[in-house]
């Protein structure tokens, strides 16, 4: 009987409000002259700039990695592992939107 009352209360309870998705910086991983580079807002980041950004991202800010057409998956993996080593845990890989 107690179980039925508890189950009924759960069914009638309002669903928990959805938390807003964290704001994400969008980066593009590119192979430039045979090297793996990260581009943020049309600008290639140097290693020191990437490390500084990674510290910010490690505090819980999400990173959305936009995969360019024909992306080198080894390059994407290398950047993901590098970000992971810096403590970045919220990484989302998305395909570049196709142009109409």
- CB neighbourhood size of 76 (10 A): 17
- For position 48, what pLDDT does the model report? 92
Q: Which two tokens stand for residue 53?
A: 């950004």
Number of independent structural domains in the chain: 1
Tens-digit pLDDT profile for residues 19-71: 445 567 787 777 666 778 888 888 888 989 989 989 988 988 888 888 777 77
Which one has a higher pLDDT value, 8 or 52?
52
Which residue range(s) make up the domain with 34? 22-95
Q: Which two tokens stand for residue 23?
A: 């704001």
Alpha helices (H) in the chain, listed in sequence order: 2-12, 47-58, 73-85
36, with CB counted inside 10 A (0-12, 13-18, 19+), is middle
In a domain, 8, yes or no: no
- CB neighbourhood size of 96 (10 A): 11
Output the domain CATH number for residue 44: 3.30.420
């Amino acid at each position: 009987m107690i179980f039925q009352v508890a189950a009924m209360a759960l069914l009638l309870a309002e669903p928990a409000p959805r938390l807003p998705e964290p704001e994400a910086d969008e980066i593009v991983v590119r192979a430039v002259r045979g090297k793996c580079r990260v581009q943020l807002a049309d600008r290639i980041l140097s290693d020191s700039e990437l490390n500084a950004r990674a510290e910010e991202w490690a505090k819980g800010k999400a990173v959305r990695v936009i995969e360019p057409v024909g992306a080198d998956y080894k390059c994407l993996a290398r950047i993901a592992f590098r970000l992971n080593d810096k403590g970045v845990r919220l990484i989302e890989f998305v395909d570049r939107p196709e142009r109409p």
